[in-house]
Structure 1
Amino acid sequence: MQAWRASLLRFDDQGHALFDRDGLLVTSPGADGRQVVLAAGDHAALASAWPDVPVTHLPGRILAPGFIDTHVHYPQTEIIGSPAEGLLPWLEHYTFPHEARFADPAHAAEVAAFFCDELMRHGVTTPLTFCTSHPASVDALFTEAERRGLRLIAGKVLQDRHSPDGVRDETEQSLVDTEALIRRWHGQGRLGYAITPRFAPSCSEAQLRGAGELAARYPDVWIQSHVAENQDEIAWARALFPDSRSYLAIYNDHGLMRERAMYAHCIHFTDDDRALMRDTHTAAAVCPTSNLFLGSGFFDFAAAERVPFAHGLASDVGGGTSFSPFVTMRAAYFVGRTPTTGLHTKPGVSLAPERLWWLHTAGAAHALGLDGVVGNLQPGCEADFVVLDPAATPLLARRTREAESLAELLFALIVLGDDRAVAQMVINGTPLSR
């Protein structure tokens, strides 16, 4: 059993932020080797109940839930910032050639280690991750995450058509490999598997149907893919699957929409699509930096509240431009504020700092079906958290010193923060040096 004393940020069941200026966080060993939060709250109210527990005192620091990245591509780490005219040219010129290299286990292992370093340097404690079509890429990432005790969800990409040599897989073998990887890794420690069709145009009817059958056979695994990111991609998907009502409906028609299913982007949606997300308990990974970088469009936060469905924030590295949750939250704020265009221009929405933070922590956990497990510092949650330094840079220190509310403090961190604000990571109760 151990305890930390510092300012403490967490969320209640309604997503409201709770903040203790002088807080106490007590953790204890739980089941299966997990460290869990035993108590969290005001230090003066809790300290007497834990007189013999050693306390790490961190004055001036903030303990906050570890960030959750709901959509990231570890094989694309090295192509961040690669210029292209849009999504499809970017895939052709950069993504597929780089991903072909992951057939080599040594290359996959080296990138997996660097990828995990970057996640942890930026305060990300739970990523939902695309690998490549090569089983070796999955084994490399899970092996690295297991070594570090990191909670991670990942899967082998399925893409048996409209893909170049080196990344295209074979339909039946891809499904056999996926099931073998589920059996090898899912539920191993804090690891989880995600069935991963790259996107509908890259998958044949048979491959999507087989993925849906696996999803039914293993209901506790995750599903991840892309949808409605780019207008050219949408037209392509609709031409390939003319019997489906919409691009999104392609996945539903193949048994790939349910709880623990996460679809990246979800930009060009109708209300019928939003209702389908809501009714199937499927979630969206909102990727503001990649959408801005590739010129794909903007996620409609107001519409996602009008026809409510679960969503969380994501870096989408390497289309996304940073591993940093601060950069992602900042971009989400800008996207939310941007007026929509069309016959009638609608004003943007101003996402509250507490809401942005929730979408990258407890709200993202909710979207992944991991409520009460990660993304929060309430009793029973796993002890994954970040120690934030609100004075990490001179300008940040000056601004946070003047903050008169929690909203001002969090917004200053969102606008001015970067990896320097992450003073320390605690993974499963173990402090890690930077």
Structure 2
Amino acid sequence: MRELKTTTSIYVHFVSTLLEHHDQSQSVLTMLRSLGQLAERGIQNQQVFFDEKPVAETGLDASICLFLYKGSSKRKEKQVPVFKFIHFSFQEFFTALYYILLDEKEHSLKVSELFELMEWEAIIDKPSPDLKERRSIPIPPVILFLYGLLNEEVSSSFLEKIELTVPHTIKLKKKEMRKTLKRAIVLMIQQYGIELFALHCLRELQDKRFVRKILKVDKSMDLYNVSLRSTDCWVLLYCLQCCPHIRYLNLMDCDLTAEKLKILQPALCMCENMRLTVDYLYNVGDLIQILGESKILRKLKVQEDEYSAESLIWSLDLSVTHEDVLLSLSSSEKNPSFPAVLNITLTCPQSEISSTDWTLFLQRLSKTAKVAKVSSAQLDEHVSLLLSSFYSVGLKTLDLKLVVLNESWASGIISLVQTCTSLQQLRLKDLHNKFRILNFTVAQNYILDT
């Protein structure tokens, strides 16, 4: 195994390394089965600490077992020895390994019970779309390890490293188990709607052809209102890269930070229609930047998180039609004050969208409402820098909605008109005076509509 790509592969590497120092008085296969039996008992009984008796009943010699830690517990004013796995996650790992090593009849029963429990918990724990709280569905690690151990590269590397020959019946059983677990993934998505858990299972399995087959069914992922961790984002990235044409991706209210977006970015432009909620709008600047290279993305909607944003909450709508980009930026505030920008809508060629720094532009835009409080000279410079971002994108049309059209804005707009030769149409709306400039052409003739 050249690279540790999954959670299971990391545990397999650690376990196989420790097994190199295994005491030879007991076979590796026997010890693994005994560890699995003890681990499963603990999982079923929600038990972390084990007395000497249940440990001995499995045939384990706890004094030499590298995966058990010996401690003590006070009972009836007396210290008694107790044992636990070196970490609870290893208890979960050995439970999954135990299921792999069981005979076919017993294995089928155990796995069925495990999935029935998972299905019931998924139905109970799945967040309602009406709930405002954000939470992830708990991922049963035993099931994830089960999928990971059926990854051919991981399992063959494990067996090779510990020099273990697995009976032919177990190899045949693994093929049947893969079929069963693959069918379970389809049910997770289609019947129970627990897509994130299914994606984790797909990543542990590491079967790109199967991932592509599953995601091609309806070519959409809806993770609305599921709080995504960085780990979840790496999983999502893997699945998106396996199926490079997702029709619809919904990541609204998923707690996406700039760091998480950076993880996802290589695959986001592979989606045709996408919805995101972010801490701050400028976090998607890099995504807009690479849009010029995307042949797939056609619609993007981004909303600032109301819990993170300041007084103005921004939203972005972007669409691509006939090789042109229509980009609309809107702010929402009950009592907007000068010199805030309320709305910017523009069109430009898709091929030139990456010619400006959108992160910097969106950062400047978010600060516009505060600049006037410093000085008028600073506002002049700020407006000039804001509008200069459009010079290099081949701007075709521009709609501006302002709170007040003052001298700073007027000067900046005139400079834009004189400098940006690609501009064909300009509309301007002043919220207070409702003053409009319409149909500006390259010949620099424009019509006033008051």
Q: Answer yes or no: same fold by TM over 0.5.
A: no
Please state which band the TM-score falls in when normalised by the shorter chain.
under 0.3
Greater Rg by CA: 2
Structure with the higher helix share, 1 or 2: 2
Higher relative contact order (CA 8 A, sep 6+): 1
TM-score (norm 2): 0.27
